[in-house]
Amino acid sequence: MQISDPALTRELQNGRPFVQTNVSFSQRMVLRGMHWQYPPQAKLIRVLEGEILDAIADVRKGSPTFGEHLTIELRSDQPISLYIPAGYAHGFCVISSHARVLYQCDIPYEPLGQRGFRWNDPDFDIRWGTDFPRLSEKDTELPLLSQIKRSEFPIFMG
């Protein structure tokens, strides 16, 4: 599925500079997600080592594409980066033996601003390629999207 959003085109043209870079390392079948931050944070993702199935989902309140998602395989041997607009949830599952993933963020990470929904939420039906991923305790405890207060979602600024 392709998400077509005029506000995203404007964001790409007028985006903020990246101010923080992070690198994560994960083993096969580790699934991280689905996360977003408040205030909303845009990211640029690139796989430095290995292969992942990456997923983004529009969780912006009032967006015409709210609830839509897309998945894409990202690999270190194909130099492709994925831009994740502010207000989108993000997650990935490692499909190689391990993966090292680079995140560039347009605002610093704020632990108290971390939000998310469960990786297997039926409202999104993201096809991860596994029914038994390896999850962190934090990701195991994430709520379903329907259990999240509307005030927790970023606002669509289209």
Q: Catalytic site residue 83?
A: no
Residue 77 pLDDT > 50, yes or no? yes
Question: Which residues, at least 6 apart from 6, have a Cβ–Cβ distance to it below 8 Å?
Answer: 158
| Domain that includes residue 46, residue range | 17-147
- Looking at the domain assignment, is residue 155 inside a domain? no
Band of pLDDT at residue 14, cut at 50, 70 and 90: low
For residues 46-62, average pLDDT: 97
Handedness of CA 145, 81, 133, 122 (dihedral sign): positive
Residue 12 pLDDT > 80, yes or no? no
Q: Any idea what the CATH number is for the domain that residue 40 is in?
A: 2.60.120.10
Q: Which residue shows structure tokens 């690999």?
A: 75
pLDDT in tens, 115-151: 999 999 999 999 999 999 999 999 999 999 999 999 9
Q: Which amino acid is at 30?
A: V
- Looking at the domain assignment, is residue 35 inside a domain? yes
Q: Catalytic site residue 90?
A: no
- Helices and strands, number each (H, E), in the chain: 2, 9
Mean pLDDT estimate for the chain: 91
- The single residue of 69, 98, 103, 109 carrying the catalytic annotation is 103
- Looking at the domain assignment, is residue 79 inside a domain? yes
- Looking at the domain assignment, is residue 51 inside a domain? yes
- Rounded to whole angstroms, the Cα distance separating 59 from 113 reads 15
Question: Could you tell me the pTM of the whole model?
Answer: 0.89
Residue 21 pLDDT > 70, yes or no? yes
Q: Is 68 helix (H, G, I), strand (E, B) or coil?
A: coil
Number of structural domains found in the chain: 1
